[in-house]
A and B are shown apart, each in its own frame.
Chain A
Amino acid sequence: MDADEINLIERAKAGEEQAFNEIFCREQRNIYNLMLQITGDTATADDLTQEALFQAFCHLPDFRFESSFRTWLSKIAINLFRKECRRKSRHVSICLEKIKIPANKDHPERIAIKREMQWCILHSLEHHVPRKYGIAIILRDLQNYSYKDIAEILEWSIGKTKTCIHRGRQILREHFVNGRCKGFGSNYQCYCEGISRI
């Protein structure tokens, strides 16, 4: 963590409004996107982001500078997500079905979503990679966290973190190869198309 960030957090902890706003404001987009990547659902991501920021505010006096503020905030958000998963059945609360994709296969919006692969990436991570591996991959390959930070966020050992990311990546690769994903060639024929509920 750099000296500026430490200074900013110290000031926020001391109650300085401007410092508080600055540190939280610059993290809100990142936390929202992390939650969106993990849940695949905008409404759930919205709820979890609100709650994570509030929890971070409540526990700011406990922040000990043992990790970066972003890592600490991500840990809070992921713990909230895990709690939410335990509370509700996974398929009721967190499901890609909730992403509003037009049913008509020729609908321009649906074509655009799939072309950009947003849907495909989230769908693959949600439905074709075991959840714990999926979260670790999101933190590593979408959020660019170090193994050390991921281990801190997920409360795993570095060894477990590495193993889970490796396994998850292998599963993802197999999924894209077997599904003949368009990222691998011009003949797009992802088998998700057949089994998805959209």
Chain B
Amino acid sequence: MNCEETRLLFSDFYDRDLSEEIRALVRQHLVSCAECQDEYENFKKALKILKKFKTRDVPRDYMTILKKRRENKTLRKRNRKLSPP
């Protein structure tokens, strides 16, 4: 496996989405090629940065808003039924 082929598989290698056989070939190349090893380390670091993203609390209780909208919808439906054609 050459450098280009290896780099194309970085994403699948990271996700463990490769067969054992191909995974072993990628690992073998990474051990023997310092440049690809460096590239893969950077690739992993970029994805680790994403993991630092912290989720936020909801700015308001959407259930209250949803309840109001549901009630309005029901009311509109009822009014349509009551109004003469």
Contacts and interface: CB of A to CB of B under 8 A. Distances in A.
Nearest to A45: B59
A161 to B, nearest CB: 11
Interface string A28-60: 110011001100001000100110011001100
Contacts of B60: 46
A122 B69 CA distance: 31
A14 B79 CA distance: 23
Interface residues of B, number: 33
A165 interface: yes
Q: What DSSP secondary structure best describes chain B's contact surface?
A: helix
Interface in B19-54: 42-43, 45-54
Interface of A: 21, 24-25, 28-29, 32-33, 36-37, 42, 46, 49-50, 53-54, 57-58, 116-118, 120-122, 137, 141-142, 147, 162, 165-166, 169-170, 172-173, 175-177, 181, 183-184
Interface of B: 8, 10-12, 14-15, 17, 42-43, 45-63, 65-66, 69-70, 73
